Structure 1
Amino acid sequence: MTDSTTITSVSFWRRQYYLLLAAVVFFTRIPVTKPIPDWALQLNRSARFLPLVGLGLGVVNAVVFSLAFSIWPQVWLALVLTTVVSVLLTGAFHEDGFADFCDGFGGGWTKEQVLLIMKDSRLGTYGVIGLGLLMTTKLSALSLLSAEQIPAALILGHCLSRSISASFMHSMDYVRDEVDRKFSGHSEPMQLGELTLVWLTGLLCLLWVVGAQALWVLLPLWGLKKLFSAYLQKRIGGYTGDCLGAVQQLAEVLIYLILSALWL
Protein backbone atom coordinates (compact mmCIF):
# COMPACT_ATOMS: atom_id res chain seq x y z
CA MET A 1 0.00 0.00 0.00
CA THR A 2 2.58 2.53 -1.07
CA ASP A 3 3.03 5.12 -3.79
CA SER A 4 5.81 7.39 -5.00
CA THR A 5 4.59 10.52 -3.15
CA THR A 6 7.43 12.27 -1.31
CA ILE A 7 6.97 13.99 2.03
CA THR A 8 8.03 17.36 0.62
CA SER A 9 5.42 17.28 -2.13
CA VAL A 10 2.35 17.20 0.11
CA SER A 11 0.79 19.77 2.42
CA PHE A 12 0.84 19.59 6.23
CA TRP A 13 -2.74 18.38 6.51
CA ARG A 14 -2.23 15.84 3.75
CA ARG A 15 0.74 14.45 5.67
CA GLN A 16 -1.41 14.10 8.77
CA TYR A 17 -4.05 12.30 6.71
CA TYR A 18 -1.52 9.76 5.45
CA LEU A 19 -0.13 9.24 8.95
CA LEU A 20 -3.65 8.66 10.27
CA LEU A 21 -4.22 6.02 7.58
CA ALA A 22 -0.90 4.44 8.55
CA ALA A 23 -2.01 4.35 12.20
CA VAL A 24 -5.17 2.51 11.17
CA VAL A 25 -3.02 0.00 9.26
CA PHE A 26 -0.57 -0.51 12.15
CA PHE A 27 -3.01 -0.65 15.06
CA THR A 28 -6.15 -2.26 13.63
CA ARG A 29 -7.30 -4.89 11.16
CA ILE A 30 -9.57 -2.39 9.41
CA PRO A 31 -8.79 -2.57 5.67
CA VAL A 32 -7.33 0.57 4.09
CA THR A 33 -7.54 0.53 0.31
CA LYS A 34 -6.03 3.96 -0.36
CA PRO A 35 -2.29 3.82 -1.22
CA ILE A 36 -0.06 5.10 1.59
CA PRO A 37 3.40 6.52 0.76
CA ASP A 38 6.45 4.81 2.23
CA TRP A 39 7.45 7.81 4.35
CA ALA A 40 4.11 7.63 6.20
CA LEU A 41 4.45 3.93 7.04
CA GLN A 42 6.56 4.63 10.13
CA LEU A 43 5.09 3.37 13.39
CA ASN A 44 6.85 5.96 15.56
CA ARG A 45 5.44 8.82 13.43
CA SER A 46 1.93 7.46 12.99
CA ALA A 47 1.66 6.74 16.73
CA ARG A 48 0.67 10.39 17.22
CA PHE A 49 -2.77 9.24 16.08
CA LEU A 50 -2.94 6.12 18.26
CA PRO A 51 -5.35 7.77 20.76
CA LEU A 52 -7.51 8.98 17.87
CA VAL A 53 -7.65 5.44 16.51
CA GLY A 54 -8.55 4.33 20.04
CA LEU A 55 -11.32 6.92 20.11
CA GLY A 56 -12.75 5.49 16.90
CA LEU A 57 -12.51 1.95 18.25
CA GLY A 58 -14.18 3.06 21.46
CA VAL A 59 -17.09 4.57 19.55
CA VAL A 60 -17.53 1.36 17.54
CA ASN A 61 -17.42 -0.70 20.74
CA ALA A 62 -19.96 1.60 22.37
CA VAL A 63 -22.33 1.17 19.41
CA VAL A 64 -21.86 -2.61 19.40
CA PHE A 65 -22.58 -2.79 23.14
CA SER A 66 -25.73 -0.68 22.78
CA LEU A 67 -27.00 -2.81 19.90
CA ALA A 68 -26.17 -6.08 21.67
CA PHE A 69 -27.84 -4.93 24.89
CA SER A 70 -30.97 -3.89 22.99
CA ILE A 71 -31.26 -7.45 21.62
CA TRP A 72 -30.05 -9.37 24.68
CA PRO A 73 -30.69 -7.14 27.74
CA GLN A 74 -27.97 -8.73 29.84
CA VAL A 75 -24.88 -6.59 30.52
CA TRP A 76 -22.36 -9.43 30.78
CA LEU A 77 -23.39 -11.04 27.48
CA ALA A 78 -23.38 -7.68 25.70
CA LEU A 79 -19.88 -7.00 27.06
CA VAL A 80 -18.58 -10.38 25.89
CA LEU A 81 -19.97 -9.81 22.41
CA THR A 82 -18.44 -6.33 22.38
CA THR A 83 -15.09 -7.80 23.37
CA VAL A 84 -15.28 -10.27 20.47
CA VAL A 85 -15.83 -7.41 18.03
CA SER A 86 -13.03 -5.39 19.64
CA VAL A 87 -10.56 -8.25 19.25
CA LEU A 88 -11.58 -8.74 15.62
CA LEU A 89 -11.08 -5.02 14.91
CA THR A 90 -7.57 -4.92 16.41
CA GLY A 91 -6.40 -8.48 15.83
CA ALA A 92 -5.76 -8.66 19.61
CA PHE A 93 -2.78 -6.39 18.95
CA HIS A 94 -2.41 -5.03 22.48
CA GLU A 95 -3.66 -8.19 24.20
CA ASP A 96 -0.92 -10.16 22.44
CA GLY A 97 1.65 -7.66 23.69
CA PHE A 98 0.37 -8.03 27.25
CA ALA A 99 0.56 -11.83 27.05
CA ASP A 100 4.12 -11.71 25.68
CA PHE A 101 5.04 -9.22 28.40
CA CYS A 102 3.76 -11.60 31.08
CA ASP A 103 5.75 -14.48 29.59
CA GLY A 104 8.93 -12.44 29.19
CA PHE A 105 9.01 -10.72 32.55
CA GLY A 106 7.54 -13.71 34.37
CA GLY A 107 9.97 -16.27 32.93
CA GLY A 108 13.11 -14.22 32.28
CA TRP A 109 15.67 -13.23 34.88
CA THR A 110 18.12 -11.24 32.79
CA LYS A 111 17.44 -8.58 30.16
CA GLU A 112 18.55 -10.96 27.41
CA GLN A 113 16.22 -13.71 28.64
CA VAL A 114 13.25 -11.34 28.88
CA LEU A 115 13.75 -10.03 25.34
CA LEU A 116 14.28 -13.50 23.93
CA ILE A 117 11.11 -14.88 25.52
CA MET A 118 9.02 -11.94 24.34
CA LYS A 119 10.15 -12.54 20.75
CA ASP A 120 8.90 -16.14 20.93
CA SER A 121 5.51 -16.37 19.22
CA ARG A 122 4.42 -19.25 21.45
CA LEU A 123 2.23 -18.47 24.47
CA GLY A 124 3.42 -19.65 27.87
CA THR A 125 1.85 -20.20 31.27
CA TYR A 126 2.42 -16.65 32.49
CA GLY A 127 0.82 -15.25 29.34
CA VAL A 128 -2.25 -17.48 29.56
CA ILE A 129 -2.82 -16.75 33.25
CA GLY A 130 -2.10 -13.03 32.88
CA LEU A 131 -4.39 -12.57 29.90
CA GLY A 132 -7.17 -14.57 31.54
CA LEU A 133 -7.02 -12.49 34.72
CA LEU A 134 -6.80 -9.27 32.72
CA MET A 135 -9.90 -9.98 30.61
CA THR A 136 -11.84 -11.17 33.66
CA THR A 137 -10.98 -8.00 35.58
CA LYS A 138 -11.82 -5.81 32.58
CA LEU A 139 -15.25 -7.35 32.05
CA SER A 140 -16.02 -7.49 35.77
CA ALA A 141 -15.22 -3.80 36.26
CA LEU A 142 -17.37 -2.79 33.29
CA SER A 143 -20.24 -5.00 34.45
CA LEU A 144 -20.47 -2.95 37.65
CA LEU A 145 -21.59 0.03 35.56
CA SER A 146 -25.09 0.54 34.26
CA ALA A 147 -25.94 -0.13 30.62
CA GLU A 148 -26.21 3.64 30.12
CA GLN A 149 -22.72 4.29 31.56
CA ILE A 150 -20.80 1.56 29.73
CA PRO A 151 -20.66 3.19 26.25
CA ALA A 152 -18.93 6.31 27.64
CA ALA A 153 -16.56 4.12 29.68
CA LEU A 154 -15.60 2.13 26.58
CA ILE A 155 -14.87 5.28 24.59
CA LEU A 156 -12.67 6.72 27.34
CA GLY A 157 -10.93 3.43 28.06
CA HIS A 158 -9.91 2.83 24.47
CA CYS A 159 -8.79 6.42 23.85
CA LEU A 160 -7.00 7.45 27.05
CA SER A 161 -5.22 4.12 27.57
CA ARG A 162 -3.61 4.55 24.15
CA SER A 163 -2.41 8.03 25.14
CA ILE A 164 -0.63 6.45 28.11
CA SER A 165 0.88 3.74 25.91
CA ALA A 166 2.07 6.07 23.14
CA SER A 167 3.67 8.46 25.63
CA PHE A 168 6.29 5.81 26.46
CA MET A 169 7.70 6.31 22.96
CA HIS A 170 8.74 9.80 24.04
CA SER A 171 9.89 9.20 27.61
CA MET A 172 11.83 5.93 27.18
CA ASP A 173 14.31 4.27 24.81
CA TYR A 174 13.50 1.34 22.58
CA VAL A 175 15.75 -1.53 23.66
CA ARG A 176 15.89 -3.88 20.67
CA ASP A 177 18.95 -4.02 18.40
CA GLU A 178 19.37 -1.55 15.54
CA VAL A 179 18.05 -3.89 12.84
CA ASP A 180 14.91 -4.64 14.84
CA ARG A 181 14.60 -0.95 15.74
CA LYS A 182 14.39 0.07 12.09
CA PHE A 183 12.17 -2.85 11.09
CA SER A 184 9.65 -2.14 13.87
CA GLY A 185 9.46 1.59 13.22
CA HIS A 186 11.04 2.67 16.51
CA SER A 187 14.19 4.14 14.97
CA GLU A 188 13.45 7.62 16.39
CA PRO A 189 11.76 8.70 19.63
CA MET A 190 8.42 10.48 19.55
CA GLN A 191 8.84 14.24 19.21
CA LEU A 192 7.38 16.76 21.66
CA GLY A 193 4.79 18.00 19.17
CA GLU A 194 3.61 14.44 18.57
CA LEU A 195 3.44 13.82 22.32
CA THR A 196 1.33 16.97 22.71
CA LEU A 197 -1.20 15.64 20.20
CA VAL A 198 -1.22 12.26 21.96
CA TRP A 199 -2.04 13.82 25.33
CA LEU A 200 -4.44 16.41 23.94
CA THR A 201 -6.59 13.72 22.33
CA GLY A 202 -6.72 11.64 25.49
CA LEU A 203 -7.34 14.57 27.85
CA LEU A 204 -10.14 16.06 25.74
CA CYS A 205 -11.84 12.67 25.73
CA LEU A 206 -11.35 12.44 29.51
CA LEU A 207 -12.90 15.87 30.13
CA TRP A 208 -15.81 15.04 27.85
CA VAL A 209 -16.61 11.79 29.68
CA VAL A 210 -15.95 12.59 33.35
CA GLY A 211 -15.73 16.39 33.50
CA ALA A 212 -14.80 17.63 36.98
CA GLN A 213 -13.80 14.13 38.08
CA ALA A 214 -10.89 14.06 35.61
CA LEU A 215 -8.25 14.42 38.32
CA TRP A 216 -9.44 11.24 40.06
CA VAL A 217 -8.77 9.35 36.82
CA LEU A 218 -5.48 11.05 35.97
CA LEU A 219 -3.74 10.55 39.31
CA PRO A 220 -3.90 6.72 39.33
CA LEU A 221 -2.91 6.64 35.63
CA TRP A 222 0.05 8.91 36.37
CA GLY A 223 1.04 6.51 39.15
CA LEU A 224 0.77 3.56 36.75
CA LYS A 225 2.97 5.30 34.20
CA LYS A 226 5.63 6.18 36.77
CA LEU A 227 5.69 2.70 38.34
CA PHE A 228 5.64 0.88 35.00
CA SER A 229 8.38 3.13 33.59
CA ALA A 230 10.58 2.52 36.64
CA TYR A 231 10.02 -1.23 36.41
CA LEU A 232 10.88 -1.37 32.71
CA GLN A 233 13.97 0.79 33.22
CA LYS A 234 15.19 -1.46 36.01
CA ARG A 235 14.55 -4.75 34.21
CA ILE A 236 15.47 -4.03 30.57
CA GLY A 237 16.50 -0.37 30.37
CA GLY A 238 13.64 0.78 28.12
CA TYR A 239 10.56 -0.48 26.30
CA THR A 240 9.57 -2.86 23.51
CA GLY A 241 6.40 -3.06 21.44
CA ASP A 242 5.07 -5.75 23.80
CA CYS A 243 5.60 -3.39 26.74
CA LEU A 244 3.48 -0.75 24.99
CA GLY A 245 0.72 -3.31 24.49
CA ALA A 246 0.95 -4.32 28.14
CA VAL A 247 0.68 -0.79 29.52
CA GLN A 248 -2.25 -0.02 27.19
CA GLN A 249 -4.15 -3.01 28.56
CA LEU A 250 -3.26 -2.20 32.17
CA ALA A 251 -4.28 1.44 31.72
CA GLU A 252 -7.58 0.43 30.11
CA VAL A 253 -8.41 -1.92 32.99
CA LEU A 254 -7.43 0.74 35.53
CA ILE A 255 -9.72 3.28 33.84
CA TYR A 256 -12.67 0.88 34.09
CA LEU A 257 -11.89 0.16 37.75
CA ILE A 258 -11.72 3.88 38.52
CA LEU A 259 -14.95 4.64 36.69
CA SER A 260 -16.76 1.77 38.40
CA ALA A 261 -15.69 3.23 41.75
CA LEU A 262 -16.59 6.83 40.83
CA TRP A 263 -19.94 6.13 39.20
CA LEU A 264 -21.40 3.50 41.53
Structure 2
Amino acid sequence: MPVFRSLMISFSIYSKIPVPQRKWEDRDMKYVLCFFPWVGAVIGVLTVLWGTFCRSLGLGTVLYAAVGTAIPILVSGGFHVDGFMDTMDAFHSYQSREKKLEILKDSHIGAFSVIQLVIYTLLYFGAYSEIDQPRALAVAGAGFFLSRTLSGIGVVTFPNAKNEGLLYLFSSKAHEKAVKVSLYLQLLLCLAAMLWLSLWTGIAVAAGALLTFFCWRRRCFRELGGITGDTCGYFVTVCEGVNAAAAAICCIAGLV
Protein backbone atom coordinates (compact mmCIF):
# COMPACT_ATOMS: atom_id res chain seq x y z
CA MET A 1 0.00 0.00 0.00
CA PRO A 2 1.42 3.43 -0.96
CA VAL A 3 0.20 5.00 2.30
CA PHE A 4 1.96 2.39 4.44
CA ARG A 5 5.14 2.75 2.38
CA SER A 6 4.93 6.53 2.81
CA LEU A 7 4.76 5.98 6.57
CA MET A 8 7.85 3.78 6.47
CA ILE A 9 9.75 6.30 4.35
CA SER A 10 8.84 9.14 6.70
CA PHE A 11 10.13 7.29 9.75
CA SER A 12 13.23 6.04 7.94
CA ILE A 13 14.22 9.60 6.99
CA TYR A 14 13.15 11.65 9.97
CA SER A 15 13.96 9.23 12.78
CA LYS A 16 16.31 6.50 13.92
CA ILE A 17 13.39 4.17 14.62
CA PRO A 18 14.03 0.89 12.75
CA VAL A 19 11.56 0.33 9.91
CA PRO A 20 11.52 -1.97 6.87
CA GLN A 21 13.71 -0.55 4.11
CA ARG A 22 12.23 -0.39 0.62
CA LYS A 23 13.15 1.16 -2.69
CA TRP A 24 11.61 4.60 -3.06
CA GLU A 25 9.13 5.04 -5.90
CA ASP A 26 7.29 8.17 -6.97
CA ARG A 27 3.93 6.81 -5.84
CA ASP A 28 5.34 6.19 -2.36
CA MET A 29 6.42 9.80 -1.96
CA LYS A 30 2.92 11.29 -2.22
CA TYR A 31 2.02 11.04 1.45
CA VAL A 32 5.38 11.06 3.25
CA LEU A 33 4.76 14.49 4.77
CA CYS A 34 1.40 13.36 6.17
CA PHE A 35 3.29 11.12 8.59
CA PHE A 36 6.09 13.51 9.47
CA PRO A 37 4.28 14.72 12.65
CA TRP A 38 4.01 11.13 13.87
CA VAL A 39 7.74 11.11 14.55
CA GLY A 40 7.05 14.02 16.88
CA ALA A 41 4.27 12.00 18.49
CA VAL A 42 6.76 9.25 19.35
CA ILE A 43 9.11 11.84 20.87
CA GLY A 44 6.26 13.35 22.86
CA VAL A 45 5.16 9.99 24.25
CA LEU A 46 8.71 9.10 25.27
CA THR A 47 9.09 12.51 26.90
CA VAL A 48 5.94 12.04 28.98
CA LEU A 49 6.92 8.48 29.93
CA TRP A 50 10.35 9.69 31.03
CA GLY A 51 8.79 12.43 33.17
CA THR A 52 6.42 9.91 34.75
CA PHE A 53 9.34 7.58 35.45
CA CYS A 54 11.34 10.37 37.09
CA ARG A 55 8.45 11.41 39.32
CA SER A 56 7.73 7.84 40.41
CA LEU A 57 11.36 7.23 41.43
CA GLY A 58 12.06 10.75 42.69
CA LEU A 59 14.98 11.27 40.33
CA GLY A 60 16.82 14.60 40.37
CA THR A 61 16.08 17.59 38.16
CA VAL A 62 19.43 17.51 36.37
CA LEU A 63 19.02 13.90 35.22
CA TYR A 64 15.39 14.57 34.29
CA ALA A 65 16.33 17.59 32.15
CA ALA A 66 19.44 15.99 30.63
CA VAL A 67 17.63 12.93 29.33
CA GLY A 68 14.62 15.02 28.34
CA THR A 69 16.91 17.23 26.28
CA ALA A 70 18.52 14.20 24.65
CA ILE A 71 15.32 12.31 23.72
CA PRO A 72 14.44 14.42 20.63
CA ILE A 73 18.00 14.12 19.34
CA LEU A 74 18.21 10.39 19.98
CA VAL A 75 14.91 9.67 18.22
CA SER A 76 15.55 11.97 15.25
CA GLY A 77 19.24 11.17 15.01
CA GLY A 78 20.00 14.89 15.09
CA PHE A 79 18.39 15.32 11.66
CA HIS A 80 16.89 18.72 12.46
CA VAL A 81 19.82 19.89 14.57
CA ASP A 82 22.03 19.47 11.50
CA GLY A 83 19.73 21.82 9.58
CA PHE A 84 19.74 24.26 12.50
CA MET A 85 23.55 24.39 12.48
CA ASP A 86 23.80 24.85 8.70
CA THR A 87 21.18 27.59 8.82
CA MET A 88 22.99 29.39 11.64
CA ASP A 89 26.17 29.44 9.59
CA ALA A 90 24.29 30.85 6.61
CA PHE A 91 22.30 33.48 8.49
CA HIS A 92 25.32 34.68 10.46
CA SER A 93 27.56 34.91 7.42
CA TYR A 94 25.86 38.19 6.39
CA GLN A 95 26.70 37.37 2.77
CA SER A 96 24.57 37.63 -0.36
CA ARG A 97 21.59 35.35 -0.91
CA GLU A 98 23.56 33.21 -3.35
CA LYS A 99 26.44 32.82 -0.91
CA LYS A 100 24.09 31.85 1.91
CA LEU A 101 22.56 29.12 -0.26
CA GLU A 102 26.07 27.85 -1.00
CA ILE A 103 26.84 27.75 2.73
CA LEU A 104 23.69 25.71 3.31
CA LYS A 105 25.00 23.08 0.89
CA ASP A 106 28.39 22.92 2.60
CA SER A 107 28.63 19.86 4.86
CA HIS A 108 31.24 21.52 7.10
CA ILE A 109 30.21 23.41 10.22
CA GLY A 110 31.45 26.82 11.25
CA ALA A 111 32.02 28.61 14.53
CA PHE A 112 28.64 30.37 14.45
CA SER A 113 26.71 27.10 14.30
CA VAL A 114 28.63 25.63 17.24
CA ILE A 115 28.16 28.76 19.34
CA GLN A 116 24.43 28.93 18.58
CA LEU A 117 23.93 25.23 19.29
CA VAL A 118 25.65 25.51 22.68
CA ILE A 119 23.49 28.51 23.59
CA TYR A 120 20.35 26.74 22.39
CA THR A 121 21.14 23.56 24.33
CA LEU A 122 21.77 25.48 27.54
CA LEU A 123 18.52 27.42 27.20
CA TYR A 124 16.55 24.29 26.31
CA PHE A 125 18.03 22.38 29.24
CA GLY A 126 17.21 25.23 31.61
CA ALA A 127 13.65 25.54 30.36
CA TYR A 128 13.05 21.80 30.44
CA SER A 129 14.22 21.59 34.03
CA GLU A 130 11.39 23.95 35.02
CA ILE A 131 8.64 21.83 33.45
CA ASP A 132 7.66 20.10 36.66
CA GLN A 133 3.91 19.67 36.15
CA PRO A 134 2.55 16.55 34.35
CA ARG A 135 0.00 18.48 32.30
CA ALA A 136 2.58 21.05 31.20
CA LEU A 137 4.94 18.25 30.20
CA ALA A 138 2.15 16.62 28.20
CA VAL A 139 1.54 19.90 26.35
CA ALA A 140 5.28 20.27 25.69
CA GLY A 141 5.26 16.68 24.42
CA ALA A 142 2.45 17.55 22.02
CA GLY A 143 4.64 20.43 20.88
CA PHE A 144 6.93 17.96 19.10
CA PHE A 145 3.95 16.92 16.99
CA LEU A 146 2.96 20.56 16.49
CA SER A 147 6.39 21.70 15.29
CA ARG A 148 6.53 18.98 12.63
CA THR A 149 2.96 19.64 11.51
CA LEU A 150 3.76 23.31 10.96
CA SER A 151 7.01 22.42 9.20
CA GLY A 152 5.12 20.10 6.85
CA ILE A 153 2.58 22.83 6.12
CA GLY A 154 5.44 25.16 5.27
CA VAL A 155 6.96 22.61 2.88
CA VAL A 156 3.78 22.31 0.78
CA THR A 157 2.86 26.00 1.05
CA PHE A 158 6.03 28.09 0.82
CA PRO A 159 8.24 28.26 -2.28
CA ASN A 160 11.59 26.50 -2.25
CA ALA A 161 14.73 28.61 -2.36
CA LYS A 162 16.36 26.06 -4.70
CA ASN A 163 15.12 23.41 -7.11
CA GLU A 164 17.13 20.55 -5.67
CA GLY A 165 17.62 18.59 -2.50
CA LEU A 166 15.43 16.42 -0.28
CA LEU A 167 12.91 19.15 0.45
CA TYR A 168 12.34 19.82 -3.23
CA LEU A 169 11.97 16.09 -3.86
CA PHE A 170 9.27 15.69 -1.22
CA SER A 171 7.39 18.88 -2.06
CA SER A 172 7.40 18.14 -5.80
CA LYS A 173 6.29 14.52 -5.38
CA ALA A 174 3.71 15.17 -2.67
CA HIS A 175 -0.02 14.90 -3.33
CA GLU A 176 -0.46 18.55 -2.40
CA LYS A 177 -4.18 18.58 -1.66
CA ALA A 178 -4.16 15.38 0.40
CA VAL A 179 -1.07 16.44 2.34
CA LYS A 180 -2.48 19.89 3.12
CA VAL A 181 -5.84 18.53 4.27
CA SER A 182 -4.10 15.91 6.41
CA LEU A 183 -1.68 18.35 8.01
CA TYR A 184 -4.28 21.04 8.71
CA LEU A 185 -6.55 18.42 10.27
CA GLN A 186 -3.68 17.14 12.41
CA LEU A 187 -2.87 20.74 13.38
CA LEU A 188 -6.41 21.39 14.62
CA LEU A 189 -6.53 18.11 16.54
CA CYS A 190 -3.15 18.83 18.13
CA LEU A 191 -4.18 22.33 19.19
CA ALA A 192 -7.44 21.02 20.63
CA ALA A 193 -5.59 18.33 22.60
CA MET A 194 -3.13 20.87 23.98
CA LEU A 195 -5.91 23.19 25.15
CA TRP A 196 -7.72 20.24 26.72
CA LEU A 197 -4.61 19.14 28.60
CA SER A 198 -3.95 22.61 30.02
CA LEU A 199 -5.71 25.73 28.76
CA TRP A 200 -3.10 28.37 29.56
CA THR A 201 -0.09 26.19 28.80
CA GLY A 202 -1.75 25.10 25.57
CA ILE A 203 -2.38 28.71 24.57
CA ALA A 204 1.20 29.72 25.43
CA VAL A 205 2.83 26.84 23.54
CA ALA A 206 0.53 27.23 20.52
CA ALA A 207 1.12 30.99 20.39
CA GLY A 208 4.88 30.51 20.64
CA ALA A 209 4.89 27.89 17.89
CA LEU A 210 2.75 29.98 15.52
CA LEU A 211 4.87 33.08 16.15
CA THR A 212 8.01 31.04 15.43
CA PHE A 213 6.38 29.75 12.23
CA PHE A 214 5.68 33.22 10.86
CA CYS A 215 9.09 34.56 11.92
CA TRP A 216 10.71 31.59 10.16
CA ARG A 217 8.79 32.33 6.98
CA ARG A 218 9.65 36.02 7.08
CA ARG A 219 13.36 35.48 7.64
CA CYS A 220 13.73 32.75 5.03
CA PHE A 221 11.92 34.81 2.41
CA ARG A 222 13.96 37.89 3.22
CA GLU A 223 17.36 36.23 3.28
CA LEU A 224 16.99 33.20 1.00
CA GLY A 225 13.95 33.81 -1.18
CA GLY A 226 12.22 30.72 0.19
CA ILE A 227 12.75 27.73 2.43
CA THR A 228 15.18 24.82 2.19
CA GLY A 229 15.49 21.48 3.92
CA ASP A 230 18.04 22.93 6.31
CA THR A 231 15.81 25.84 7.27
CA CYS A 232 12.98 23.38 7.97
CA GLY A 233 15.29 21.62 10.42
CA TYR A 234 16.12 25.03 11.87
CA PHE A 235 12.43 25.77 12.34
CA VAL A 236 11.66 22.44 14.05
CA THR A 237 14.59 22.91 16.43
CA VAL A 238 13.78 26.51 17.33
CA CYS A 239 10.08 25.73 17.67
CA GLU A 240 10.83 22.92 20.12
CA GLY A 241 12.92 25.32 22.18
CA VAL A 242 10.16 27.94 22.19
CA ASN A 243 7.62 25.28 23.20
CA ALA A 244 9.77 24.20 26.14
CA ALA A 245 10.26 27.82 27.22
CA ALA A 246 6.52 28.55 27.03
CA ALA A 247 5.66 25.47 29.10
CA ALA A 248 8.36 26.36 31.64
CA ILE A 249 7.06 29.92 32.03
CA CYS A 250 3.56 28.58 32.68
CA CYS A 251 4.91 26.22 35.35
CA ILE A 252 6.85 29.02 37.06
CA ALA A 253 3.83 31.35 36.91
CA GLY A 254 1.46 28.66 38.18
CA LEU A 255 -0.70 28.78 35.05
CA VAL A 256 -0.86 25.03 34.48
Normalising by structure 1, we get a TM-score of 0.83
Q: Within 5 Å, which residues of 2 pair with 1:127-138?
A: 127-138=113-124
Shift of 1:151: 4.0
Cα RMSD over matched residues? 2.5
- 1:200 aligned to 2:188? no
Alignment correspondent of 2:210: 222
Paired with 1:125 and 1:190, the residues of 2 have a C-alpha distance of 39
Contact 1:105 1:114 in 2 (8 A): yes
- 1:120 aligned to 2:106? yes
Contact 1:174 1:181 in 2 (8 A): no
Shift of 1:196: 2.6
Change beyond 3 A, Cα 1:88–1:218: closer
Alignment correspondent of 2:86: 100
CA deviations 1:229-256 (Å, max 9, x no partner) are 1211111111100100011111111112
Which stretch of the first structure deviates more once superposed, 216-225 or 23-32? 216-225
Shift of 1:70: 4.6
Shift of 1:154: 4.1
- 1:231 aligned to 2:223? no
Q: Within 5 Å, which residues of 2 pair with 1:43-122?
A: 45-68=31-54, 70-71=56-57, 73-122=59-108
Q: Secondary structure at the match of 2:109?
A: coil
Paired with 1:182 and 1:101, the residues of 2 have a C-alpha distance of 14
| Match 1:29 to one of 16, 32, 40 | 16
- Aligned partner letter, 1:207: A
CA deviations 1:149-182 (Å, max 9, x no partner) are 464144212111111211111221112235x468
- 1:162 aligned to 2:148? yes
Change beyond 3 A, Cα 1:182–1:105: closer
Contact 1:224 1:251 in 2 (8 A): yes
Aligned length: 249
Runs of 4+ in structure 1 over 4 Å off? 68-72, 181-184
Contact 2:15 2:76 in 1 (8 A): yes
Change beyond 3 A, Cα 1:182–1:169: closer
Equivalent pairs: percent with the same residue? 22
Contact 1:173 1:189 in 2 (8 A): no
Shift of 1:191: 1.6
- 1:191 aligned to 2:176? yes
Change beyond 3 A, Cα 1:256–1:82: closer
Paired with 1:131 and 1:120, the residues of 2 have a C-alpha distance of 17
Paired with 2:54 and 2:248, the residues of 1 have a C-alpha distance of 21
- Aligned partner letter, 1:86: P
Alignment correspondent of 1:4: none
- Aligned partner letter, 1:101: T
Change beyond 3 A, Cα 1:258–1:192: farther
Paired with 2:34 and 2:158, the residues of 1 have a C-alpha distance of 16
Change beyond 3 A, Cα 1:38–1:190: closer
- In structure 1, stretches of 5+ residues that fail to align are 1-13
